[in-house]
Chain A
Amino acid sequence: MLADEPTTANAQTLEMFNAGWDRIGVQKKVKESASQDLRSDFFNLSRRARDGFEVACAAKDEDQAETSYEAMVTTLSELWEYAAYRDRPFRDLLGLIEATLRYRSTKEFIPEQRKVILDAFSDLSRWHLDQSRVDEHLEQFMVHNLDIESPLRAPKGKKVRISIEIIEDDTKE
């Protein structure tokens, strides 16, 4: 039976239904807005990192180059906070760039190497990134003799020892 007017029970259901939609709508808007904020923060950070590298390379003054370079490395570290929201190609590209640049300085890179690094930076700010594109960068880094393996090596002249102690969790019975 179809009713022209909703019964009390139907009206209540309809009200709840609409309210639910509203809640979902609000949640969706909040999510969209948060997602846009996230993207915008991410783009700003990745551009800042790229610009930092460019400025460091172009700087005539050594202090300025060093300051920009260090700021760029810090920004790269901050980008890892976004890794949870990004896929593997992004993380691999970020890891590739960071492994090449951290604990180094602009003086260590020749112009051809700087160009290869800047190309990789350009893709870092893309939201959608193909793994094949990242692999191309990886190959270019290798062709131009850029070292990406330093995270796996002990610091020069040092050995790293980590002792592990398992701590009992008191909150669990």
Chain B
Amino acid sequence: MTQKSKQLPLFLDTTLQVDRCLSAHDSARSDAVAKLLGDYNFLVSCVYSRLEFKRVVLQNIALILRYIVEADPPSFFGALLRVSKLNYTPRKASTLANILAWIGHNIDSNVQTGEVGSNIDLVIARRAESYIRNTIKRRWLWYRRTIDSLVDRMNCQRGKEQPVENADGSIDTSVHESACKNKGCNIANFFREQMSRLKKLLADLKKAKTTNGQLTDELEDAIRSIEAAIKDPTRLYNYNRCLELSDVWIHLESVAAGISDFGTTNYKESDLICPSLGLTKRQP
């Protein structure tokens, strides 16, 4: 095998995929990511990461789309009004503001009136709908297309659920959490398979806690969840319990795929999990 054809795989976790997807307009950031990826010729991610990506990246904009189309007729200003009342969601408001600015309204003058239910409201709503719908579909396809392999030792059923277009034009990106109890995945077996590694990780995390005094909330959750699952792995057939180990699952998918280089921007958790599982953390 020549040096050129030798496979150099990198495992990409959710944070890195989100960074790749959203930093297209941030040249410094996208250059840094491209530089890291340039050292490898085979990119791998996992279905469970795609589920996280759906939850973090797609659900947010799918909700904005729903706000627009649920009015009859669809209303952009109605959605803007609704989002502005939700003070804790500045990102949703900024997405709508960006669309309005991009279309060209409210750019040249300081004040314009937009009446809910007016013709201009409907036209802007139709345009915004299309941009958002296309973006959701594109990002879902993008996840799979920008990597060479999507591994799934967990056989995660929720991660396989693709966004579904509704008759009203909205896109359903919900995660059917209650279906996890149907035991359609391989989570308990995967946990058993990786038991020795998980026990080592548990010991390393506890040691780090003693040394450092405090761990992140995610790692604290992981300690409790591993301890409980060692006694009964079938308890993991529950969406929220499975979620407590989300960082651990993604690192284990990399281990199970035999890929030692783990690409992430999630340094707090990976700083401890990677060395414990024999992975090398790679950051852009």
Contacts and interface: CB of A to CB of B under 8 A. Distances in A.
A138 B134 contact: yes
Q: How large is the interface on A (under 10, 10 to 19, 20 to 34, 35 or more residues)?
A: 35 or more
A136 B123 CA distance: 25
A47 interface: no
Contact of B123 (A83, A131, A141, A156): A83
A129 interface: no
A127 to B, nearest CB: 18
B126 A80 contact: yes
A151 B24 contact: no
Contacts of A159: 94
B127 A135 contact: no
| Max chain A Cβ within 10 angstroms of own Cβ: one of B61, B106, B123, B130 | B130
Contact of A154 (B98, B103, B130): B98
Given A84-B122, A148-B135, A160-B97, A142 B141 contact: yes
A91 B113 CA distance: 25
B100 interface: yes
Given A160-B94, A164-B84, A152 B61 contact: yes
A91 B69 CA distance: 14
Interface string A142-172: 1100011111111110011110101100000
Contacts of A102: 102
B130 A94 contact: yes
23 contacts: A80-B126, A83-B123, A84-B126, A88-B169, A92-B134, A94-B130, A95-B127, A95-B134, A99-B131, A138-B134, A147-B24, A149-B138, A151-B127, A151-B131, A153-B25, A153-B102, A155-B98, A160-B98, A162-B80, A162-B93, A162-B97, A162-B106, A167-B113
A2 to B, nearest CB: 50
Given A80-B123, A142-B142, A152-B61, A160 B134 contact: no
B153 interface: no
Given A142-B145, A155-B102, 4 more contacts: A84-B126, A95-B127, A147-B24, A153-B98
B169 A148 contact: no
A32 interface: no
Contact of B94 (A88, A91, A154): A154
B81 interface: yes
A36 B208 CA distance: 75
Contacts of A117: none
Contacts of A88: 169
Interface of A: 80-81, 83-84, 88, 91-92, 94-96, 98-99, 102-103, 131, 135, 138-139, 141-143, 147-156, 159-162, 164, 166-167
Chain A at the B interface: mostly helix, strand, loop or mixed? helix
Contacts of A161: 97
Contacts of B102: 102-103, 150-153, 155
Q: How large is the interface on B (under 10, 10 to 19, 20 to 34, 35 or more residues)?
A: 35 or more
A151 B126 contact: no
Interface of B: 24-25, 61, 80-81, 84, 93-103, 106, 113, 122-123, 126-135, 137-138, 141-142, 145, 165, 169
A157 to B, nearest CB: 10
Contacts of B100: 160, 162
Given A88-B169, A147-B24, A153-B25, A135 B98 contact: no
Closest 5 CB pairs of A and B: A95-B130, A151-B131, A151-B102, A160-B101, A160-B97
A148 to B, nearest CB: 6
Contacts of A94: 130
A152 B137 contact: no
Contacts of B81: 164, 166
B68 to A, nearest CB: 12
Given A154-B98, A160-B97, A162-B100, A149 B126 contact: no
